[in-house]
Structure 1
Amino acid sequence: MNDPTHRDTFLQGRTALVTGSTSGIGLAIATALAAAGSKVAINGLGTPEQVASAIATVDAAGNGGTRHFGADLRDADAIAAMMADLAAWSNGGIDILVNNAGIQHAVPLHEMPVSRWNDIIAVNLSSAFHTMRAAMPAMAARGYGRVVNIASVHGLVASKDKAPYVASKFGIVGLSKVAALEYAAQGSRDSGGITVNCVCPGWVETPLIEPQIEARMAGGSRDDGVRALLAEKQPSLRMSLPAEIAALAVFLCRREAHNITGASLPVDGGWTAQ
């Protein structure tokens, strides 16, 4: 029988950076990577108490040693400094890079403030370019590396009132394909190779969408609100949990996933199958 207390720590000795990981999907991914044995660097916004709570959560899942890097992902110089610090912290460079940080602002195109466009493109797209550019040469030198970019169904299809968000997510899908091609032949089956993939979630159960659920409850239950919200897009009528997105990200880090690269994997309950 399998021991339910046994952890598959196949990432023992690896180091990871997860951006946007002080809450939500990013925190779930950081926690799952730690549980698989990796040392994890988190990055993201929050009060000192929120950051300390995130570190404690990740530490509790793994072997400890979690560190928070507070770089502003709109600032290329701040990202460069963070990646240099990470190279020293991880003895030459991280093995796993998860670009999860993302921001949103939903208004029609002609009403979109230029400053919001600039910030969304910087955080959702340009920051991934900067982290990948810094991290991937060391991955190639070791013969193992994983880049998992958390895109969105909006990297595959569009919705109204989300011009910069959709543009950024389509952009990260394209960026990932190029990087996957450039690094595809590095490493080997035994070493694990270098892969670059996008995970494209649909509706995910995070606190950010609670107001949208409540707006559709119409006097009914929360489940009624969820079904009404998802009926507009997601045929399964079920949201994903952050831990389910994290499980896919962790699977992509396995050696057996060495030939899964350049993919954009929807986790969307059939949204993009329509």
Structure 2
Amino acid sequence: MPDTTNRPLAGRVAIVTGSTSGIGLGIARALASAGSAIVLNGFGDAGAIAQLQDEFRRRHAVAVHHHSADMSDPRQVTAMIEETHARLGSADILVSNAGIQHVAAIEDFPPGKWDAILAINLSAAFHAMRAAIPLMRARGWGRIVNVASAHGLVASPFKSAYVAAKHGLVGLTKAAALELAEAGITCNAICPGYVWTPLVEKQIDDQARAHGIAREQVIRDVLLVNQPTKRFATVEEMGALTVFLCSEAAASITGTALPVDGGWTAH
């Protein structure tokens, strides 16, 4: 029998979009540690992705596959869900994490960037849910976790497309939760503030050079100016919360947007 104490998600199959690096990879690792089979998704060097798959199998003894679906293409998103079901027999957990960003004033915002951000940050989650929900309904169980942002709850200037997409993702989460309330399927959003990833580390170095100030000042006065704890969240924290939301202990938690932002949205 599955070890449901130490591996509460044993026997489940999880798809995590945008999971070859950063927050998505941290979530995928946490789900695998809890016993779930994993479908990784994202771009990257083929050798590095193969090494990731080997790591998952070696450390967690779970099935792991990679699907290169482009999240901006609805047909590829749907194909990823269908192929997961055909290969692994189910698609119990869907974590929509893939996202991109662009910063510009509204009057200068390139329309192509607007369309791409909404396609990847919002519409991809809809297309994945649309394909996965019938499979979850058939099994009478499912967990959907949408990785939104503190910007799904509050706004910042010069990030109009990102803010609009993340607010939309929170709204989509609530609508889905209501539709699925009696189907044994929960749908929640997590709303991180700044999370420590290699991309954020690069931003620190770039900002320090651009402004001629120390890394510590960039962290405290630029990146974490709105984050009262003055510390980055970690990908491990995002993973642990996702595992909890996918567990039986969270069966009555649905339709929520949970901030993981060091108090940012408490202002």
Q: Give the structure-2-normalised TM-score.
A: 0.93
1:237 equivalent to 2:239? Answer no
* Amino acid in structure 2 at the alignment position of 1:46: G
Equivalent of 1:264 in 249, 254, 257? 257
C-alpha deviation, 1:143, in angstroms: 1.9
Whole-Å separation in 2 of the counterparts to 1:213 and 1:14: 38
Partner of 1:36: 34
Whole-Å separation in 1 of the counterparts to 2:69 and 2:181: 29
Partner of 1:167: 164
C-alpha deviation, 1:58, in angstroms: 2.6
Whole-Å separation in 1 of the counterparts to 2:238 and 2:230: 17
Kindly report which structure 2 residues correspond to 1:66-105, keeping only aligned pairs within 5 A, or say none. Answer: 66-91=64-89, 93-105=90-102
Deviates more, 1:231-240 or 1:9-18: 231-240
Whole-Å separation in 1 of the counterparts to 2:182 and 2:163: 30
Partner of 1:207: 198
2:14–2:91 CA contact under 8 A, matched in 1? yes
1:7–1:36 CA contact under 8 A, matched in 2? no
Kindly report which structure 2 residues correspond to 1:56-205, keeping only aligned pairs within 5 A, or say none. Answer: 56-91=54-89, 93-186=90-183, 193-205=184-196
C-alpha deviation, 1:219, in angstroms: 5.1
Deviations, residues 44-73 of structure 1 (Å, cap 9, x unaligned):
011112322332333233113210000111
C-alpha deviation, 1:131, in angstroms: 0.6
Secondary structure in structure 2 of the residue aligned to 1:227 = helix
How big is the alpha-carbon RMSD for the aligned residues of Structure 1 and Structure 2?
Answer: 1.7
List alignment gaps of at least 5 residues for structure 2: none
Secondary structure in structure 2 of the residue aligned to 1:236 = coil
Secondary structure in structure 2 of the residue aligned to 1:49 = helix
Equivalent of 2:9 in 11, 14, 17? 11
* Amino acid in structure 2 at the alignment position of 1:105: H
2:224–2:231 CA contact under 8 A, matched in 1? no
- Compared with structure 1, are the counterparts of its residues 73 and 9 closer, same or farther at alpha carbon in structure 2 (3 Å cutoff)? same
Deviations, residues 242-271 of structure 1 (Å, cap 9, x unaligned):
111111001101101011000000000110
Whole-Å separation in 2 of the counterparts to 1:248 and 1:97: 14
Q: Give the structure-1-normalised TM-score.
A: 0.91
Kindly report which structure 2 residues correspond to 1:20-35, keeping only aligned pairs within 5 A, or say none. Answer: 20-35=18-33
List alignment gaps of at least 5 residues for structure 1: 1-5, 187-192
Deviations, residues 187-211 of structure 1 (Å, cap 9, x unaligned):
xxxxxx2100000000100111224
C-alpha deviation, 1:224, in angstroms: 4.1
